[in-house]
Amino acid sequence: MLPVDIHPDGYDLEQIEGWMKRAKPRLFYMNPTFHNPTGFTVPAWQRKLLVELAERYKCMLVEDDVFHDIYFEESPPPPIFSYDTEGYVIYISSFSKYIAPGLRVAVIAARSSIMKSLMPVKALLDNGSPLLNQKIFLLYFFSKRLQEHVAKLRIALQIRKEKMEQVLSASNWSWTSPKGGLSLWVQLPKGVAVDLLLERSLQQSIAFVPGSICDPLGHLDDWIRLNFSYIQQDLIEEGVQKLMVIADSIKQEYSYLILVIIED
């Protein structure tokens, strides 16, 4: 697996081209819209260039677009799939994020030659998704009710995100405000051991995703992903405040330890 950096303004295209030249990967998996865990979105101009790179180096792009509809103010750029004319992009999405994960209904769009190879694999893996679920879902998918549900969800999620950001603004933690998605990607100040923070937070029923497990190289150990989708605003406030208190106490213990070591 070859890791690629993503930044608030997209990918480092030179890095991607370097990998494509040197390692000739067959497939590049990406989650370019409100990326999990960072929340970053690849801008439209890069989307076109990514397709050109894929064509030039004959590397398939898998575009996981699961958060596309979960935007706050304005809709994100069109999918990378929409720039593809030569069949180098496989588009996947899912309804887990705004309907129900247990529904197990997802989307894949690709050239028919690719679909022909994928269909038997899917059938062999899980015997196929239940048809009854799919039939019921289809009615909901084309209904006005689904559109209304997603519209309400966008507002509710934006309010929760803003609440979380408002509470965090009392700290010196840093993050780039996402324009969609379900979580904040937050950098902690030096001296807060994330494993200890998680251990102590869990004791108070607060959970987060440590950045290191999102990184194939195991770095990013001063980053955490805080999810704002699941709980109500008042609990977000209480939880984030507690998290900040725990982090401060770890930081103080840590600086005290350094002092003792230096004094010894």
Ligand X SMILES: Cc1ncc(COP(=O)(O)O)c(C=O)c1O
Residue 14 or 126: the one with the smaller Cβ distance to ligand X is 126
Q: Which residues bind ligand X (CB under 6 A)?
A: 31, 36, 64, 66, 94, 96, 101, 106
Residue 109 or 193: the one with the smaller Cβ distance to ligand X is 109
Residue 64 or 84: the one with the smaller Cβ distance to ligand X is 64
Shortest reach from residue 96's CB to ligand X, in Å:
3
Shortest reach from residue 30's CB to ligand X, in Å:
10
Shortest reach from residue 6's CB to ligand X, in Å:
12
Give the CA angle between residues 238, 244, 245 to the nearest 5°: 90
Among candidate residues 206, 248, 196, 205, the one with its CA nearest the CA of residue 227: 206
Shortest reach from residue 40's CB to ligand X, in Å:
12
Residue 141 or 256: the one with the smaller Cβ distance to ligand X is 141
Residue 36 or 46: the one with the smaller Cβ distance to ligand X is 36
Shortest reach from residue 263's CB to ligand X, in Å:
47
